């Protein structure tokens, strides 16, 4: 007997079939039995939750937004990211009427997370999107999250020094070491690194489509990365897997990566900093801005210049002192 499951969406992309839960946006297993079990569990949870949601509340709005074409039109990684912030908004404001949210409340929400400005800015962004959804459907007449200034982020992500990379590799199990090398030699974002498959690697190049921008890249594989990839046992279509051979979730990967980083005694360094490191290393090797962008996939060359500003400054300063030394001799 075929079990017909509610709220399941089938999507074909790049020649593959993917399954999603329509309401939560969660990507489901390709295995029919695992998928059915998960869907039944989600639906049961939502059914219990629905009884506690008041019409016209923030929780009601979030539920409607999660089921909307606007939400499901987002890239998968963006949906996963937004879900965390939607859950946070639901926990904090779920019982409040949609119409009760004022600008002062949005500012207070932002300031509550001021110690982590990236998180503070992102939650305001997600709230602004949800309130725009509410306004379009006449749930309220305005959007108090529009025009809220972002908190300053400081100097941004740090590139990894060579000694920190060495310390991490000394402490890392093979899969975490491979993750670092992929990021270091391809300059890709965490989500794209985790999504790489063995099919993407032909022994000489890695071909991918960046999830954030849709940019198609063919990246020649550095000899150090090739050695690491060729030595890795292939237990799954996905390159980076857990000990049980399953793909990492974002949170699970960050947990394992963070454990190695802590064991190596490293502070203030995050996975995204390896993207900066890759650009910096390419700049130090004499690559042009466009050559660096051909690896990292950046369309805004100004971002590359931001990544490599320190290298350019050091190189220019060195040239300036040489000129000064030569001028003194004449």
Which residues make beta-bridge pairs with 278?
Answer: none
CB-CB contact of 205 with 199 (8 Å): no
- Architecture in CATH of 162-317: Orthogonal Bundle (1.10)
Count of CA atoms in the C-beta half-sphere (13 A) of 148: 25
Where do you find CATH 1.10.443.10 in the chain?
162-317
CA distance readout (Å), 216 to 64, 197, 298: 33, 15, 11
The answer to whether the CB of 96 falls within 8 A of the CB of 57 is yes
Q: Are the C-beta atoms of residues 266 and 168 closer than 8 Å to each other?
A: yes
Euclidean distance between CA atoms 321 and 179, whole angstroms: 40
Region of 328 (left: φ > 0; alpha: ψ -120 to 50; beta: rest) is alpha
DSSP SS3 for 241: strand
Q: Is the separation of the CB atoms in 185 and 274 below 8 Å?
A: no
Q: Are 9 and 20 in contact (CB under 8 A)?
A: yes
Q: Is 12 helix (H, G, I), strand (E, B) or coil?
A: strand
Question: Quick one: which of 282, 125, 119, 248 has its CA closest to 176?
Answer: 248
Structure confidence by residue, pLDDT tens digits, 266-297: 988 989 999 999 999 998 888 888 999 999 99
Strand, helix or coil for residue 130:
helix
The pLDDT value recorded for residue 47 is 65
Cα–Cα dist 95/60, whole Å: 9
Specify the pLDDT at position 53: 62
Q: Over its length of 330 residues, how does the chain's per-residue pLDDT go in tens digits?
A: 345 677 888 887 777 888 888 777 777 888 777 777 778 777 766 665 554 667 789 999 999 999 899 999 998 878 888 988 999 999 899 989 999 999 999 999 999 888 778 889 999 999 999 999 999 999 999 999 999 999 887 656 789 999 999 999 999 999 999 999 999 999 999 999 999 999 999 999 999 999 888 899 999 999 999 999 999 999 999 999 999 999 998 888 989 999 999 999 998 898 999 999 999 999 888 888 899 999 999 887 777 777 777 676 776 777 777 777 787 666
Spatial distance between the Cα atoms of 260 and 167, rounded to a whole number of angstroms = 10
Longest alpha-carbon distance in the chain: 93
pLDDT tens digits for range 32-77: 777 777 787 777 666 655 546 677 899 999 999 998 999 999 988 7
């Amino acid at each position: 007997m075929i079990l017909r499951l509610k709220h399941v969406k089938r999507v074909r992309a790049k020649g593959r079939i993917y399954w999603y839960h329509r309401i939560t946006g969660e990507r489901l297993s390709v295995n029919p039995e695992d998928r059915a079990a998960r869907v039944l569990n989600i639906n049961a949870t939502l059914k219990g939750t629905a009884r506690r949601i008041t019409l016209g509340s923030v929780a009601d709005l979030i539920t409607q937004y999660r089921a909307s074409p606007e939400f499901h039109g987002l890239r998968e990684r963006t949906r996963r990211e937004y879900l965390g912030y939607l859950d946070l908004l639901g926990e904090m404001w779920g019982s409040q009427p949609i119409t009760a949210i004022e600008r002062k409340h949005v500012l207070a929400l932002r300031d509550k997370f001021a110690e982590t400005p990236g998180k503070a800015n992102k939650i305001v962004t997600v709230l602004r999107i949800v309130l725009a959804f509410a306004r379009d459907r006449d749930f309220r007449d305005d959007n108090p999250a529009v025009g809220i200034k972002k908190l300053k982020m400081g100097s941004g992500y740090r590139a990894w020094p060579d000694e920190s990379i060495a310390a991490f590799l000394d402490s890392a199990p093979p899969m975490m070491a491979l993750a670092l090398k992929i990021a270091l030699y391809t300059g890709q974002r965490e989500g794209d690194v985790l999504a790489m498959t063995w099919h993407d690697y032909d022994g000489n190049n890695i071909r991918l489509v960046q999830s954030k921008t849709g940019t198609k890249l063919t990246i020649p594989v550095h000899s150090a990365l090739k050695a690491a990839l060729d030595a890795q046992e292939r237990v799954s279509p996905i390159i980076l897997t857990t000990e049980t051979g399953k793909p990492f979730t974002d949170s699970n990967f960050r947990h394992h990566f963070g454990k190695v980083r802590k064991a190596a005694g490293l502070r203030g360094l995050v996975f995204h900093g390896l993207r900066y490191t890759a650009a910096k290393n390419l700049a130090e090797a004499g690559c042009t801005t466009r050559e660096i962008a051909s690896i990292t996939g950046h369309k805004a060359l100004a971002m590359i210049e931001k990544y490599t500003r320190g290298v350019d400054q050091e190189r220019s300063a060195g040239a300036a002192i040489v000129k000064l030394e030569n001028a003194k001799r004449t």
